[in-house]
Amino acid sequence: MAAPSQTTATTTHHRVLLPSHHHHRAVPPSLLRLPLRAARRGRLSAAAAAAAPAASTAAPSEPAAGAVPGKPTVLVAEKLGAAGLELLRGFANVDCSYGLSPEELRAKIPLCDALIVRSGTKVGRDVFEASGGRLRVVGRAGVGIDNVDLAAATEHGCLVVNAPTANTVAAAEHGIALLTAMSRNIAQADASLKAGKWQRNKYVGVSLVGKTLAILGFGKVGSEVARRAKGLGMHVIAHDPYASADRAHAIGVELVSMEDALTTADFISLHMPLTPATNKMLNDETFAKMKKGVRIINVARGGVIDEDALVRALDSGIVAQAALDVFTKEPPAPDSKLVLHENVTVTPHLGASTVEAQEGVAIEIAEAVIGALKGELAASAVNAPMVPAEVLSELAPYVVLAEKLGRLAVQLVAGGGGIKSVKVTYASARAPDDLDTRLLRAMITKGLIEPISSVFVNLVNADFTAKQRGVRITEERILLDGSPETPIDYIQVHIAHVESKFPSAISESGEITVEGKVKDGIPHLTKVGSFQVDVSLEGSLILCRQVDQPGMIGAVGSVLGEENVNVSFMSVGRIAPRKHAVMAIGVDEEPKKSTLTKIGEIPAIEEFVFLKL
């Protein structure tokens, strides 16, 4: 079987002259439902309400003893601060089970809606498969997520959140503590004195002033280490292919190549995640490039160093000293040559171990998990599209519009399946660089895929599911002249190479086309095929194509009234008088099939379709 084609986002730009005349109303707080702490962090994801299903697709399980029916269940698999547990218990049933074996974890997970771990619990594909679809959120109480299988989480529609800010300072402080302790032989001198020895000459250290510190990985922790090292009078350089030169310059740090970092540094501090690209990044080959007598600090991940190679570098004198808080296997073996080496200072993974950091991480991850279970915006989601807070606030009503247009378009496809090519058009007076459409594209994808997918689809796995179905999604920008009073004038969704159950939805280009705008903060449908309409996208919708003649609105309205179906709005669009028109009717409830049949029997009605929004 051929592999499905990949979902792609191709962007093109056009300039046309169209008026932009809609005013943007302030977004109501109820639409955002953004936790205060998340707002302060300033990074939001597209998790939103779709991050978790309203009801699990898994078979129902018996609640744990003492559990409150109707509340979600959160399994806390590793120790969490009391403040975080208190928050969780106010919202959910909390099961604190520490030190679970893989078998025990798989046995418990079908009863859980969320799982919270630190670095010691591996959350692999087997865990997501064992959950039977119930697990909606995995919270990592800390920064690194290399112990969570993100691909498996995404495939199973499970949101993964972490706590990226609370322990940043603690980790940076520990890195500096190891740097200074190593450079002055603090641990060795302490042990010697406690053993009854007075060896001042043996433990002569090295000064930090004027020395070059290379930071490999210039993220949050790396940046904080740099600030503190500058205060110690060190010359700081950094290597990170994703770091901003402006941000580095603001701190007084020079970004350099990996080669320059390795060959010029007196001290090297590691601050990158463990990935296939960083696994054993420091090895025999890279140690050979370093200055003789270099000193290594690692408070990131043990696997980024080849520990056997580090022992060889220490024995040869290439590396004078190492200070390590993390190891490839934790805890390391009691007879580990690296741990027992006289020129190595070690701590048992204490980077985040301050009272303040532990409580901060507990609160941060508890808030993230609770918010995700509520369907709120997850500021720290690691497997969902991320957009800045100010962009999310401005685009909030367009997010609703985007999903509804996707949902509307796919329901117009005859049979629902066979979709291979979708184009999304955004019309805006803003320059392409000033319009972030990632969130909108994710919501359109969700709207397109969820009604025709056999599995639950949310923003986490929408793109994956689209790829599995071989759907290719492209994006197009139309640049409007005029003042950009609103971020977007209109959005169009085009589905090519399909037949429609409502042929009038086929535009002149031969594609199913729907268009929408935001008016006074409310999503509106403004075009179906080549017919202009204007109806609010609320409730459900009946589309009718009829001969444009007097009495048609009354005829359809009478049928709905007789069947006790409440009409919330109605709009008629036509291409020319007395030809053909499309009537869009909003209804508060789904009409019976017999009611729809009666509408179809009205002589001037040529076709109709009922659509759930």
Q: What is the pLDDT of residues 157-191, one digit of tens each?
A: 899 999 988 889 999 999 999 999 999 999 999 99
Q: Is residue 276 domain-resident?
A: yes
Range 39-68 average pLDDT? 43
| Confidence at residue 273, expressed as pLDDT on a 0 to 100 scale | 83
Same domain, 413 and 557: no
Split into its structural domains, the chain has a count of 4
Residues with Cβ within 8 Å of residue 125, at least 6 apart in sequence = 149, 151, 152
Q: How confident is the model at residue 456 (pLDDT cuts 50, 70, 90)?
A: low
Do 232 and 334 reside in the same domain of the chain? yes
Q: Does 60 map to a domain?
A: no
Start-to-end CA span in the chain (Å): 35
Alpha-carbon distances, residue 441 vs 388, 389, 448 (angstroms): 15, 17, 10
Same domain for 180 and 116? no
CATH of the domain at 569: 3.30.70.260
Poorest-pLDDT segment among 75-79, 131-135, 258-262, 434-438: 434-438
| pLDDT above 90 for 259 | yes
Kindly provide the b/e burial profile for residues 305-319, where b requires at least 16 CB atoms within 10 angstroms of the residue's own CB.
Answer: bbbebbbbbbeeebb
Using the 8-state DSSP alphabet, how is residue 78 labeled? S
Taking CA atoms, 515 is separated from 400, 444, 451, 494, in Å, by 13, 12, 19, 9
At residue 464 the predicted structure's pLDDT band, cuts being 50, 70 and 90, is confident
Quick check: 465 pLDDT over 80? no
CB neighbourhood size of 350 (10 A)? 15
pLDDT at 114: 98
pLDDT (mean) for 285-291:
98
Burial of 541 (0-12, 13-18, 19+ CB in 10 A): buried
Q: Is residue 464 part of a domain?
A: yes
Length of the chain: 613
Res 1 pLDDT > 80: no
Tell me: do 250 and 142 sit in the same domain. no
pLDDT exceeds cutoff 50 at 248? yes
Does 9 map to a domain?
A: no
Give the residue from 91, 83, 89, 66 showing the smallest Cα distance to 375.
Answer: 91
Specify the range with the lowest mean pLDDT, choosing from 324-338, 487-501, 504-518, 543-557.
543-557
From the candidates 140, 228, 349, 524, which is the catalytic residue?
Answer: 349
Catalytic residue check, 349: yes
CB 154 within 8 A of CB 460: yes
Same structural domain for residues 481 and 582?
no
* Choice between 591 and 295, residue whose per-residue pLDDT is larger: 295
Longest dimension (CA), the chain: 107
Considering the domain architecture, whether residues 202 and 338 belong to the same structural domain is answered as yes
DSSP string, 312-359: HHHHHTSEEEEEES--SSSSPPTT-HHHH-TTEEE-SS-TT-SHHHHH
CB 385 within 8 A of CB 44: no
Instruction: Say whether both 339 and 401 belong to one domain.
Output: no
pLDDT band at 455 (very low <50, low <70, confident <90, very high): low
The answer to whether the CB of 42 falls within 8 A of the CB of 386 is no
CA distance 113 to 93: 10
Q: Report if residue 22 sits inside a domain.
A: no
For residue 25, pLDDT over 70 is answered with no
- Least confidently predicted of 46-55, 110-119, 333-342, 472-481: 46-55
Does residue 207 lie within any of the structural domains?
A: yes
Query: Does the pLDDT of residue 352 top 70, yes or no?
Result: yes
Is residue 271 annotated as a catalytic residue, yes or no?
A: no
Q: How many CA atoms lie within 13 A of 350 on its CB side?
A: 14
pLDDT at 84 > cutoff 80: yes
Does 328 lie in the same domain as 420?
no
Q: Is the pLDDT of residue 339 over 80?
A: yes
Residue 119 sits in a domain of what CATH number? 3.40.50.720
* Strand partners for 603: none
Q: Which of 323, 328, 294 is nearest to 308 (CA)?
A: 328
Does the pTM surpass 0.85? The reply is no
In the structure encoding, which two tokens stand for residue 272, read together? 């990158």
Q: 607 is written with which tokens?
A: 């076709």
| pLDDT at position 43 over 60 | no
Of 103, 259, 285, 330, the active-site residue reads 330
Contacts of 72 (CB under 8 A, 6+ apart): 91, 92, 93, 113, 114, 373
Same domain, 460 and 497: yes
CB 61 within 8 A of CB 138: no
Domain residues for the domain of 576 are 536-612
d(CA 34, CA 419): 35
* Four-point Cα dihedral 243, 247, 249, 254, nearest 10: -20
Contact indicator for 507, 530 with CB cutoff of 8 Å: yes
Judge if 152 and 205 occupy the same domain: no
573 and 525 within one domain: no
**Is the confidence at residue 230, as pLDDT, over 50?**
yes
Q: Average of pLDDT values for 284-298?
A: 98
pLDDT band at 385 (very low <50, low <70, confident <90, very high): low
User: Last residue of some domain: 501, 529, 557?
Assistant: 529
Does the annotation count 330 as an active-site position? yes
Mean per-residue pLDDT over the chain, rounded: 85
CATH number, domain containing residue 489:
3.30.1330.90
Which comes out higher in pLDDT, residue 66 or 224? 224
Last residue of a domain, one of 529, 552, 582: 529
Q: Is residue 48 part of a domain?
A: no
Say if CB 253 and CB 236 are below 8 A apart. Answer: yes
Residue 417 pLDDT: 60
DSSP state of 50: G
Question: Who has greater pLDDT, 557 or 325?
Answer: 325
**Which residues, in sequence order, are bridge partners of residue 275?**
none
Res 59 pLDDT > 80 = no
Distance CA 343, CA 51 (A): 49
Looking at 215-224, 255-264, 322-331, 410-419, which range is the least confident one? 410-419
User: For 118-135, what is the mean pLDDT?
Assistant: 95
Residue 23 included in any domain: no
- Taking residues 4-8, report their average pLDDT: 38
For residues 514 and 444, membership in a common domain is answered with yes
Q: What is the rounded distance in angstroms from the CA atom of residue 594 to the CA atom of residue 599?
A: 9
Q: Counting beta carbons within 10 angstroms of the beta carbon of residue 200, is it exposed (0 to 12), middle (13 to 18) or buried (19 or more)? A: exposed
Task: Quote the CA–CA distance of 310 and 307 in Å, as a whole number.
Answer: 5
Q: What is the pLDDT of residue 65?
A: 58
What local confidence, expressed as pLDDT, does residue 52 receive?
Answer: 40
Q: How many CB atoms are located within 10 Å of the residue 223 CB?
A: 22
Q: Exactly one of 228, 295, 301, 472 is catalytic; which is it?
A: 301
